[in-house]
Amino acid sequence: MTTIGLIRHGVTDWNVLGRAQGISDIPLNEAGLIQAKAIADRLSGESWDIIISSTLTRAKQTAEAVRSSLGIGNLITEDRIREINCGQIEGTTEEERVAKWGDNWSSLDLGIEAFEDVAKRGAAYIEEVAATHRDKRVLIVSHGALIGLSLQRLLPQRFESTYINNTSLTIIAHRNDEWACMLFNCTKHL
């Protein structure tokens, strides 16, 4: 059985302000650094073999705290688990989007990556990790939309919709070509 722990990065200033981050490279704020330490402390007594992070700074900062706490030798980074590309809405709040494009802004072509495409790339990468690291325990530090949409694709009977909290831990397992979710969106460390 391959076990995969999915961790959303800690909070950023843009999270607090309600700005769409997407692929903008926003670092953790002070609260996010504290959250990263909290998830690292939580996992410090556990045994994980590998840690993989999105290439965006907020995920790498979170992953580095966990990697250091676990004593894992190196951090692997991967572009395919970056957040959804929010196109022209990156850096904007809902209020700013309505002011600029109107109440129906989400129906416009503003260069936002399709949810289906995000789900496909995230799920495909998680499946690749499960195949490549069979019977290992792997942590993946990524982003809310990527994790949530990937879960909906891998376990559609369990997840019709998802919301992923900052530094939450979700654990899924792969055995006999089937996925199971052992823990979802847990933030008991906060």
| Per-residue pLDDT tens over the stretch 25-56 | 999 999 999 999 999 999 999 999 999 999 99
Residue 10: per-residue pLDDT? 98
pLDDT band at 186 (very low <50, low <70, confident <90, very high): very high
Residues 106-127 pLDDT 10s: 999 999 999 999 999 999 999 9
Domain boundaries, the chain: 2-186
Q: Quickly count: other Cβ atoms within 10 Å of residue 47's Cβ.
A: 7
Q: What is the mean pLDDT of residues 91-98?
A: 97
Closest to 179 measured CA to CA, from 145, 149, 156: 156
Residue 179: per-residue pLDDT? 98
Burial 178-187 (b: 16+ CB within 10 A, else e): ebebeebbee
Closest to 68 measured CA to CA, from 102, 100, 40, 109: 40
What's the CATH superfamily of 2-186?
Phosphoglycerate mutase-like (3.40.50.1240)
The full 3-state SS of 87-139, as one line of letters, equals HHHCCCCHHHHHHHHCCCHHHCCCCCCCHHHHHHHHHHHHHHHHHHCCCCEEE
Residues 159-184 pLDDT 10s: 999 999 999 999 999 999 999 999 99
Which residues are marked as active site?
9, 83
Residue 82: per-residue pLDDT? 98
Length of the chain: 190
Question: By the 8 A CB rule, do 113 and 54 touch?
Answer: no
Residue 164: per-residue pLDDT? 98
Residues 55-76 pLDDT 10s: 999 999 999 999 999 999 999 9
Q: What is the mean pLDDT of residues 148-156?
A: 98
Q: Which amino acid, 167?
A: T
Question: By the 8 A CB rule, do 94 and 18 touch?
Answer: yes
pTM: 0.96
- CA 8 from chain centre, in angstroms, equals 4
- CA-to-CA distance for 116 and 114, rounded, in angstroms? 5
Residue 103: per-residue pLDDT? 96
- CA-to-CA distance for 189 and 46, rounded, in angstroms? 14
- CA-to-CA distance for 145 and 129, rounded, in angstroms? 19
Residue 145: per-residue pLDDT? 98
